[in-house]
Amino acid sequence: MDLRIGVIGTGAIGQEHIQRLNHKTQGAHVVAISDINKEKATLLAKEIGAKFYETGEALIADPEVDAVVVTSWDPTHEQYVLEAIKHNKYVFCEKPLATDSEGCRRIVDAEVANGKKLVQVGFMRRYDRGYMELKEVIENRQLGEPLLLHCAHRNPTVDKNYETPMAIINTAIHEIDALRWLLQEDYVSVQVILPKQTSYTHEKLHDPQMVILETKSGIHIDLEVFVNCQFGYDIKCVVVCETGEISLEDPSYTRVKAKGKDYTTVSPDWQSRFMDAYDEEFQLWIHSIQADAITGPTAWDGYVASITMVACGVARESGERVAISLDSCPTLYQA
Ligand code: NAD
């Protein structure tokens, strides 16, 4: 029988995930939705044949909802994830898990007290084919030990509400999780450099920024976050190893040769760049619920990302290299 999913927060990505669950993935469909924008959500509920709930809590409590997807605004994630744990229900939460490390820690503690992994965080880079191939080469030590990573996260433009800290909290968060997963190593320190700025930014946003991370074994990662690069959505990850180098290719299905040029296009946005990764993320989430064992990014991963982001903020303000220290990982999350 299909899993019956409830979605809390039916804005941009909530609607994309509803489409994905109802039309792209197998084994689940959306039976319930909730959003504070009642008017819009009631119409949507009618359109997709789901039940509308006045509150996320009521949706979670319904015995006819097997698992929950949280795609509401960031400050509401923690309350809904905690509520789902209270009802012993699987919950997929879009990043960030909570708006601060204390909130992430409360979720980790609640899950540990409940004794079962129920939470998956929406770090979908882990499901991108390119990252998966990089991981295989790194894990097999095919090119020897990884030594250095050169990465970039570039957006064509951002709006005026996007300010300096968001380069870490909204953008670099994806690399912070994906690179730690790729290397299977925690970070020990971070430095943030604020270089010469693009004229396309505004006074509340320092753009670009450079984040320099160091892992436990001494691997150095330089990550450029440049959110007004003008030319497209561009993700880079070059892994330099002892006997070779491996890097992400921008996925492309066609190549143009004309007027003396030979080129492929750059993705315009994150939706098109990572479309397949989102589909895979949800298909595997459904499979893992059916198998009663979550395999994706955990609440602990959400907590570690949050601690790292706090250190990045301190490093940006101080200009110094800042240590990243973690509590010991609860046994529930140890492989
Ligand atoms: P959005 O503003 O389009 O949608 C958010 C929706 O949540 C709105 O419809 C709003 O009315 C609703 N909402 C707010 N408070 C609520 C509450 N208390 N209960 C129920 N509904 C509530 O935003 P979005 O772009 O869809 O982003 C939603 C979340 O997804 C954010 O946390 C964002 O960080 C995350 N996100 C993740 C990725 C990714 O790549 N993994 C991409 C985009 C967005």
Q: Cα of 229 to ligand 1 centre, how many Å?
A: 25
| CB of residue 35 inside a 6 A radius of ligand 1 | yes
DSSP, collapsed to helix, strand or coil, labels residue 258 as strand
* pLDDT in the model for residue 147: 98
DSSP, collapsed to helix, strand or coil, labels residue 106 as helix
Angle between helices 299-318 and 101-114 (to 10 degrees): 160
Return the closest-CA partner of residue 56 out of 45, 44, 72, 75. Answer: 72
Q: Cα of 285 to ligand 1 centre, how many Å?
A: 19
Q: Cα of 74 to ligand 1 centre, how many Å?
A: 7
ipTM: 0.98
Q: If you count them, how many residues does the chain have? A: 335
Q: Please name the fold of domain 3-125+277-297.
A: Rossmann fold (3.40.50)
Note the pLDDT tens digit of each residue in 197-233.
999 999 999 999 999 999 999 999 999 999 999 999 9
**% of residues, the chain, pLDDT over 90:** 98
pLDDT band at residue 185, thresholds of 50, 70 and 90?
very high
CATH number of 128-269+303-333: 3.30.360.10
What residue spans define the domains of the chain? Answer: 3-125+277-297, 128-269+303-333
In angstroms, rounded to a whole number, what is the distance separating the alpha carbons of residues 30 and 64? 11
* pLDDT in the model for residue 133: 98
CB 313 within 8 A of CB 168: yes
In angstroms, rounded to a whole number, what is the distance separating the alpha carbons of residues 282 and 191? 34
In angstroms, rounded to a whole number, what is the distance separating the alpha carbons of residues 19 and 205? 34
User: What sign results for the dihedral spanned by CA atoms 282, 286, 287, 289?
Assistant: positive
| CB of residue 83 inside a 6 A radius of ligand 1 | no
Q: Which residue has the tokens 């009521």?
A: 58
Note the pLDDT tens digit of each residue in 280-293.
999 999 999 999 99
